[in-house]
Amino acid sequence: MADRKENIRNIAIIAHVDHGKTTLVDGMLRQSGIFRENEQVQERVMDSNDLERERGITILAKNTSVRYKGMKINIVDTPGHADFGGEVERVLKMVDGVLLLVDAFEGPMPQTRFVLRKALQLNLKPIVVINKIDRPEARPAEVIDEVLDLFIELGADDEQLEFPVVYASSREGYAVLELEDEKKDLEPLFKTIIEYVPAPSGDVDKPLQLLVSNIDYDDYVGRIAIGRIDRGKVITGQQAAVCQKNGNIYQAKVSRLYKFEGLKRVEADEAEVGDIVAVSGITAINIGETICDASTPEPLPFVNIDEPTLSMTFSVNNSPFAGREGTFVTSRHLRDRLFKELETNVSLRVEETDSPDAFKVSGRGELHLSILIETMRRQGYEFQVSKPKVIMKEIDGVECEPVEFLTIDVPEDYMGVVMEKLGARKAEMVNMHSAAEGYMRLEFKIPARGLIGYRSEFLTDTKGNGIMNHVFYGYEPYKGDIASRQRGSLVAWEDGEAVTYGLYNAQERGTLFITPGTKVYEGMIVGENARNEDIVVNVCKKKHVTNMRAAGSDEALRLTPPRILSLEQALEFISDDELVEITPKNIRLRKKILDTEQRAKARSKLG
Ligand X SMILES: Nc1nc2c(ncn2[C@@H]2O[C@H](COP(=O)(O)OP(=O)(O)OP(=O)(O)O)[C@@H](O)[C@H]2O)c(=O)[nH]1
Positions that interact with Mg ion (CB under 5 A): 21-22, 58
- For ligand X, the closer of residues 126 and 281 by Cβ is 126
Question: Among ligand X, Mg ion, none, what binds residue 23 when CB lies within 5 to 8 Å by partner kind?
Answer: ligand X
- For ligand X, the closer of residues 129 and 491 by Cβ is 129
Question: Among 570, 597, 495, 510, which Cα is nearest to 540's?
Answer: 495
- For ligand X, the closer of residues 17 and 282 by Cβ is 17
- Residue 24, strand partner residues: none
Considering the complex, what minimum distance in angstroms separates the CB of residue 227 from Mg ion? 21
Question: Among Mg ion, ligand X, none, what binds residue 135 when CB lies within 5 to 8 Å by partner kind?
Answer: ligand X
- For ligand X, the closer of residues 28 and 350 by Cβ is 28
Considering the complex, what minimum distance in angstroms separates the CB of residue 26 from ligand X? 8
DSSP 526-549: EEEESSSS-EEE-TTPPPPGGGHH
Considering the complex, what minimum distance in angstroms separates the CB of residue 188 from ligand X? 15
- For ligand X, the closer of residues 178 and 555 by Cβ is 178
By the criterion CB under 6 A, which residues form the site for ligand X? 15, 17-23, 44, 57-58, 79-81, 131-132, 134-135, 169-171
Contacts of residue 364, defined as CB under 8 A and 6 or more positions apart, other chains included, come to 82, 83, 84, 85, 86, 306, 308, 309, 310, 347, 472
How far is C-alpha 211 from the geometric centre of its chain's CA atoms? 24
Question: Among ligand X, Mg ion, none, what binds residue 236 when CB lies within 5 to 8 Å by partner kind?
Answer: none
Q: Are strands 209-218 and 222-231 parallel, antiparallel or unpaired?
A: antiparallel
Considering the complex, what minimum distance in angstroms separates the CB of residue 21 from Mg ion? 5
Question: Among Mg ion, ligand X, none, what binds residue 507 when CB lies within 5 to 8 Å by partner kind?
Answer: none
Question: Among Mg ion, ligand X, none, what binds residue 333 when CB lies within 5 to 8 Å by partner kind?
Answer: none
Question: Among ligand X, Mg ion, none, what binds residue 387 when CB lies within 5 to 8 Å by partner kind?
Answer: none
Question: Among Mg ion, ligand X, none, what binds residue 20 when CB lies within 5 to 8 Å by partner kind?
Answer: ligand X
Confirm if 421 and 450 have CB atoms less than 8 A apart: no
- The conformational region for residue 243 under phi > 0 = left, psi -120 to 50 = alpha, else beta, is beta
Considering the complex, what minimum distance in angstroms separates the CB of residue 138 from ligand X? 9
Confirm if 203 and 1 have CB atoms less than 8 A apart: yes
**Environment class of residue 262 by beta-carbon count within 10 Å: exposed (0-12), middle (13-18) or buried (19+)?**
middle
Considering the complex, what minimum distance in angstroms separates the CB of residue 414 from ligand X? 24
CB crowding 146-174: b at 16 or more within 10 Å, else e: ebbebbeeeebeeebeebebbbbbbbebb
- For Mg ion, the closer of residues 87 and 382 by Cβ is 87
Considering the complex, what minimum distance in angstroms separates the CB of residue 82 from ligand X? 10
- For Mg ion, the closer of residues 20 and 450 by Cβ is 20
- For Mg ion, the closer of residues 54 and 181 by Cβ is 54
**Environment class of residue 544 by beta-carbon count within 10 Å: exposed (0-12), middle (13-18) or buried (19+)?**
exposed
Tell me the residue number closest to ligand X, measured at CB: 80
Considering the complex, what minimum distance in angstroms separates the CB of residue 78 from ligand X? 7
Helix, strand or coil for residue 60? coil
